[in-house]
Amino acid sequence: QKEVEQNSGPLSVPEGAIASLNCTYSDRGSQSFFWYRQYSGKSPELIMSIYSNGDKEDGRFTAQLNKASQYVSLLIRDSQPSDSATYLCAPQADRGSTLGRLYFGRGTQLTVWP
């Protein structure tokens, strides 16, 4: 059973601060990683993907990947109240009969207060 653990929330940060969301995964074979944002009552929305060790930046979002440590994170700089949502970490199975399957964590609920 492939496990995905995310930092327990809820996480609460003030507007303008950096929000740090962490995720560890058990499948050492996973090579692709995705972050989804899910507003309450809505479906998950893809916001970041990362495939190589290191950092990947997209606007206020930075994804970090360390495959040796089986760790992936998402940093949100200059957090805004509109960033308040649940963030889902999803490694993708890279081999075998489950090739392409996403494994989701429970998500971390982020609240950004004005």
Partner 1 sequence: EAGVAQSPRYKIIEKRQSVAFWCNPISGHATLYWYQQILGQGPKLLIQFQNNGVVDDSQLPKDRFSAERLKGVDSTLKIQPAKLEDSAVYLCASSFLSGSPHEQYFGPGTRLTVT
Residues binding partner 1 (CB under 8 A): 4, 31-32, 34, 36, 42-46, 49, 51, 88, 90, 92-94, 97-102, 104-107
Q: How far is the CB of 101 from partner 1 (least distance, A)?
A: 5
Residue 35 near residue 87, CB atoms below 8 Å: yes
Q: How far is the CB of 6 from partner 1 (least distance, A)?
A: 9
Nearer to partner 1, 63 or 90 (CB): 90
For tokens 């308040």, the residue is: 84
Nearer to partner 1, 61 or 104 (CB): 104
Nearer to partner 1, 28 or 77 (CB): 28
Closest CA to 6 of 19, 25, 34, 32: 25
* DSSP letter (8 states) at residue 81: G
Q: How far is the CB of 79 from partner 1 (least distance, A)?
A: 22
- Angstrom CA distances, 103 to 68, 71, 79, 92, 96, stand at 19, 14, 26, 6, 14
Residue 19 near residue 82, CB atoms below 8 Å: no
Nearer to partner 1, 1 or 14 (CB): 1
